[in-house]
Amino acid sequence: MYGNDVIRNIRNYRKLLIMEIEGLRYLDERPVSEGDRRKAKAFFEGGIEAERKVNLEVQNERIFA
């Protein structure tokens, strides 16, 4: 999608595509992780604050894994 003019018209397109396309593994030359999926879901369910909370959880999981 990078370089495609349509993304200018779609707010939060990366998060939206991650939520809508379950089998998506890469987007714009970046991998889509399970953490990305959790953060996108949190964003659409509870907004930016919910996404931030999940982001901290994901970071802590990486540190203590």
**pLDDT digits 0-9 by tens, 9-65:** 899 999 999 999 999 999 999 999 999 999 999 999 999 999 999 999 999 998 886
**pLDDT digits 0-9 by tens, 33-49:** 999 999 999 999 999 99
Nearest Cα neighbor of 24 from 10, 14, 39 is 14
The CA-atom distances, in angstroms, between 56 and each of 4, 17, 37, 39, 51 are 31, 22, 14, 10, 9
* pTM score, whole prediction: 0.86
- Domain total in the chain: 1
- For residues 32, 36, 37, 43, the Cα torsion angle rounded to the nearest 10 degrees is -140
